[in-house]
Structure formats: C-alpha cells, structure tokens
Amino acid sequence: MSDATTTTTRLRDELRRRGQRVTPQRLAINAVVESLGRRHVTVDEVFALASDRVPGISLPTVYATLDLLEDVGLLRRVATEGGAAVFDTRTDAHHHVACRRCGAIVDIDATVDSAELLRAAESMGFIPDDTQVVVRGVCAVCAATPRAA
C-alpha cells in the first residue's frame, strides 16, 4: 500500500504539472481516500468523510476531485450497473464480483486474457487504457438469505 506522503506528493506534483491549483479540498479528499486503505467506496461515502474534514465541501467538488484522482492514477473506477459511481483505492489491474441484491463489490485476483478484447477494441479505433471484468450475480450471503416477500 502506498503511504500518504507519497500520494500527496504525487497529487501536488500532478496538479502543478497541469497548472491546476493545489486546494485544501483536493488534498483533504485525497487524505480521506488514503485513510480508507484498500476499499471500494461510493462518492456519497467520500463526501460524508470529507465533510468532517472540510465543513461545507460540496458534492460536485468531491465528484470532480475523485475524477481527478482517477485521472492521476490514485483511484480506479469500478464498472457498475446503474447506481452510484464506485471508486477503488486499489489501482493495480484486478477484477470484481458484484452482487445484484446487496451491491457488494469484492476483488477477484484471476488472470484474464484480454488480448482478444483489446484487439477488437483497437480495431474499432478505440484506445484502451483499462480492462476490467465484473462478474455479476448473487453473493453467498444473499444466496443464503430468502428474499423478502
């Protein structure tokens, strides 16, 4: 896991390189993300935590900063169906299972040969930068729980 100093430095350097301001809000959101450890988080969760550190911070600021952190490579967006955007503090390539009932998202470490997918994407003129597989279905907990009538 990367330590806070490193990601803060990385964010500062990247913002300066882009000519964007290093704001207390951006640093606070990065600190929140850093404090989560390895997790999948929704924008609302980050917003709630960031509000504790920076009273009055706005939801659009949180959205924009999470996009920025994704762009910088400090976060990875998890492909989800509908619902809230989910960000992953784990940024190396890995895949997920997603439960349709409770919304749980869990990492899967399995090697996926995506060469054929990438070839197909590139043949469409697409420039791929991330490939992730989401296995959808019902998690063990939900499968063992009768559905409410």
Interface residues with Zn ion (CB under 5 A)?
88, 90, 99, 101-102, 104, 107, 139, 142
Selection from 137, 120, 139 nearest residue 128 by Cα: 120
Nearest distance from C-beta of residue 69 to Zn ion, angstroms: 15
Nearest distance from C-beta of residue 61 to Zn ion, angstroms: 24
Q: Which is nearer to Zn ion, 7 or 25 (CB)?
A: 7
Rg (CA), the chain: 17
Residue 16 sits at the vertex; the CA angle it makes with 13 and 22, to the nearest 5 degrees, is 90
Q: Which is nearer to Zn ion, 101 or 119 (CB)?
A: 101
Q: Which is nearer to Zn ion, 26 or 96 (CB)?
A: 96
Nearest distance from C-beta of residue 55 to Zn ion, angstroms: 30
CA distance linking residue 16 with residue 42, whole number of Å:
27
Q: Which is nearer to Zn ion, 51 or 103 (CB)?
A: 103
Nearest distance from C-beta of residue 8 to Zn ion, angstroms: 22
In sequence order, what DSSP letters do the residues of 3-26 get, joined into one string? -HHHHHHHHHHHHHHHT----HHH
